[in-house]
Amino acid sequence: MKRLKINEDIRPMSEFRTGIASFIKQIHATKRPLIITQHGKGVAVLLDADEFESMQDKIELLQDIQTSISQIESGQGITHSNAKAAVLGKIKQ
């Protein structure tokens, strides 16, 4: 996901209501999220669907990495040679 441009990507709810279609076109074109504010405070984020899916994939990968680190730290890991042998064993089957 691209970084926000403060002057372009933060809009009040009143503007959003009247220009929904143009804001949807904007997020598709720029691949940046749109922050919607109400009474000067952020209340919602509008994201391109592909960007949202990409974000979810990255979060899942980071969670898997964290799980792996926790397992290794608690002694549940296996050595490289054992992992390699297991993988090669499955490939040969």
Beta-bridged to residue 56, according to DSSP, are none
Token look-up 């952020």 returns 42
Edge-first strand order for the sheet with 34-38 is 10-12, 34-38, 41-46
Residue 35 domain flag: yes
Q: Report whether pLDDT(26) > 80.
A: yes
Alpha-carbon span 74 to 70, nearest angstrom: 6
Residue 39 DSSP SS3: coil
CATH number, domain of 41, equals: 3.40.1620.10
pLDDT tens column, 43-70? 999 999 999 999 999 999 999 999 999 9
Which pLDDT score is estimated for 77? 85
Which pLDDT score is estimated for 34? 94
Residue 82 domain flag: no
Residue 33 domain flag: yes
Number of folded domains that form the chain:
1
Question: Domain of 32?
Answer: 6-47
pLDDT tens column, 2-19? 787 877 788 889 998 899
pLDDT tens column, 72-85? 999 998 888 998 99
